[in-house]
Amino acid sequence: MAPRVCILCCQAVKWAPVVFISAIVGWSYYAYVVQMAILTADTIAEKIIFLVLYHPILFLFVWSYYQTIFAKAKTPPKEFFLSQTEWQQLESETNENNQRDKLNNFAKKLPIQNRTIAGFPRYCEKCKCVKPDRCHHCSVCSICVLKMDHHCPWVNNCVGFHNYKYFVLFLGYALLYCIYVAVSSLKYFISFWSGGGATGVGRFHILFLFFVAVMFGISLISLFGYHIFLTVHNRSTLEAFRAPIFQTGADKDGFSLGSRANFAEVFGDKKSHWFLPIFTSLGDGVSYASRLQPTISYNTMGTTPRAETTNLGDGVTYPTRTVDLDSDGLLGQRQRWMEEGDTESSYENKGIESA
């Protein structure tokens, strides 16, 4: 009984940021629609304009937030997973050269470009798979996530290939929502702040509505701008902090094909769908064109499966690194050093390990 209670408590904590944001949005709806637009606005025309402009922005904001939260993370296809016999042989092997040969032999049939610093395929000891390009293991979700960007506690979900477009739109529409609410309530905020206008509880709702919209708007400007920057440069947050490694070395711009092609990779090639939170990203999340191999087909591995379940992780939250670094087996530390360039730890010849 006790473990089940602990699991439920952990799940409640993980959903707390989502509940908080939802509560803020729900309160803002009451404050704006009821207290400001209906009860406070001076004229009928002003009331209609406020309500007509407000609801489409709110709808797109809530829709994109919902999509970001409930889109299921995509994991590597079955071709990337080692059989039980293969991974047992790999992890029981004590000779580094033999480990390298086994990994290279398994990975030679896979469409991967990224390697560790030493040139080995990236292997995940937790999932028992060779990681596709741009894939990382999330310690919160306990799965390898295709094109993982980060694990975001505000959506209680990993942000990756499956929902990155939704996440960027969520930030954009949240910023637009805050700007619209702040600008349209500015007149009444000044009036109430200076002591004029109506009295009662309603004025405090409008005062707080303006403050909250400005506060969230300021924080969203930098975050939305940063992810637009990442989109046009075809980088994830993890890749911005730790460049992917190719056979020619580390290269932050290794997957960049030009700002227009980079934007289309996330938002699709149909302009009519760019600003709608529906999935239009190009590719399968497994194979990516790069400056070294610009002609790689997006459909090399076909359709990738969705993750059916998630398990409790260790509670890492953004912007803390959420790639799983907890590994005490033979394959854990050395490959992390090979992939991330960790010079603070010294390793003897103990074989390649997961990153």
Q: Please, are residues 75 and 145 in contact by the beta-carbon 8 Å criterion?
A: yes
Please state the length of the chain: 355
Query: Strand, coil or helix: what is 320?
Result: coil
Tell me how crowded residue 43 is: count the other CB atoms within 10 A of its CB: 8
Q: Please, are residues 174 and 61 in contact by the beta-carbon 8 Å criterion?
A: yes
Catalytic: 158? Answer: no
Distance CA 240, CA 289 (A): 18
Q: Which helix (H) or strand (E) holds 201?
A: helix 201-232
Q: Please, are residues 127 and 148 in contact by the beta-carbon 8 Å criterion?
A: no
Catalytic residue among 129, 141, 152, 178: 152
Phi, psi (rounded to 5 degrees) for 302: 75, -155
Indicate the burial class of 207 (C-beta count within 10 angstroms; 0-12, 13-18, 19 or more): middle
CA distances from 65 to 14, 62, 204, 285, 329 (A): 16, 5, 27, 21, 38
Q: Please, are residues 206 and 31 in contact by the beta-carbon 8 Å criterion?
A: yes
Q: Which helix (H) or strand (E) holds 150?
A: strand 150-152
Indicate the burial class of 320 (C-beta count within 10 angstroms; 0-12, 13-18, 19 or more): exposed
Rounded to a whole number of angstroms, the distance between the first and last alpha carbons of the chain is 35
Q: Please, are residues 303 and 284 in contact by the beta-carbon 8 Å criterion?
A: yes
Q: Please, are residues 150 and 136 in contact by the beta-carbon 8 Å criterion?
A: no
Distance CA 46, CA 26 (A): 22
**Residue 82 token pair:** 């080692």
Would you please indicate which residues are annotated as catalytic (active-site) residues? 152
